[in-house]
Amino acid sequence: MPSPPVAFVGGTVYASADEPPVLDGVVLVKDGKIAATGRRSVAVPHGFEIVDCSGCTIVPGLWNNHVHFFERKWASASEIPAPELASQLQQAFSRYGVTSVFDLSSPWENTRDIRERTELGEVAGPRIRSAGEGLVSPGALPSETVMRMMGVMPTPMPEVRDAAQAVDATKTLLKKGADGIKLFVQGAPSGAPAFSAEIISAVAEEAHRAGELVFAHPATGDDVLTALRGGVDVIAHTTPHSGPWTETIFETVREQKVALTPTLALWKYFARHDRLSAQEQITNCALEQLRGWVSAGGTVLFGTDLGAVDSDPLPEYELMEAAGMNFPQILASLTSMPAIVFGDADEAGRITPGGSADLAIVRGDPESDIRALANVRFTLRAGRILYS
């Protein structure tokens, strides 16, 4: 059903993370697109339903760039009744303003089923990109018992021991339609080594040839450096358990355009059983790593590792702020940066006439209080209301 034209009137509008906001602004949405935006003086044409947004802030639809569709709740996705699937997608994403996600490892055919149902409009949900099953070292996969305890559906993942096998696995995933390649760089507890720079660069070359990106999950600072030297595009985590990142890492970041999903709240969550002093040490180390990354000019993509943590993004927003990122920088990591890194059209990640009407409308002013960014009133994807 096409939505009727709507005018969101009276809120503070951030058309783009790198421009000052328009106070008392207007956003006109028609036929799934932004028809116009600007000051309240923009005339609202006849036939538009008017929604008063006084006291609210309107930002481009948000992206969570590190999620997993591997929890049991997503299994047999083609058979989940549409209202239930829509409800699960709403709880995970749109109730927090999220309109686009990047899945960094899950059973690919199953995730593709979710995407097909959302793309056909049968089920309301976010835009989904997926790396399919991540590549692992032999023996690096957690046991089925552990996976079951984590609430994860059993997922066979390609085990690769050398560059040739890694390239084969990459080709297979890309042929099946994956939108990127995820490498679990770390080795196995049993002794299988972490991926070498040779394996990583062979995968990066193959993926880049196909126009796709490579994401690396590191366990240590050494893994990060190997991944950077191998030419990956996105580092999927900070690594506070291995201590501070070295100047060599930051020098490499300065030279290469690489992105990071910090996943700060993940470490805080995993440390919840530890003594307070240990929790603080882990959190502070992760904050320092992000701080160093930002001062080295590295790109930041918002990402929580949803599936391993709950869906509320607020703990991550607060930690990014604690690492020194201001609201426009945090907003960029949620909007314009992913649009740039993933090579989307110019109008993606912004509110601009002719662009898709992907919007998050939140209560309050997130610039003065970041908690407002998680207090969502409406989420729209291509003009369709995903959450209200």
Given the rule CB under 5 A, which residues bind Zn ion?
305
Kindly state the smallest distance separating residue 297's Cβ from Zn ion, in Å. Answer: 25
Nearer to Zn ion, 14 or 215 (CB): 215
Nearer to Zn ion, 303 or 383 (CB): 303
Kindly state the smallest distance separating residue 205's Cβ from Zn ion, in Å. Answer: 24
Nearer to Zn ion, 136 or 361 (CB): 136
Nearer to Zn ion, 173 or 372 (CB): 173
Q: Which residue is nearest to Zn ion (CB)?
A: 305
Nearer to Zn ion, 43 or 150 (CB): 150
Q: Residue 370, Cβ neighbours under 10 Å: how many?
A: 19
Nearer to Zn ion, 104 or 362 (CB): 104
Kindly state the smallest distance separating residue 12's Cβ from Zn ion, in Å. Answer: 33
Kindly state the smallest distance separating residue 67's Cβ from Zn ion, in Å. Answer: 8
Kindly state the smallest distance separating residue 65's Cβ from Zn ion, in Å. Answer: 11
Kindly state the smallest distance separating residue 247's Cβ from Zn ion, in Å. Answer: 27
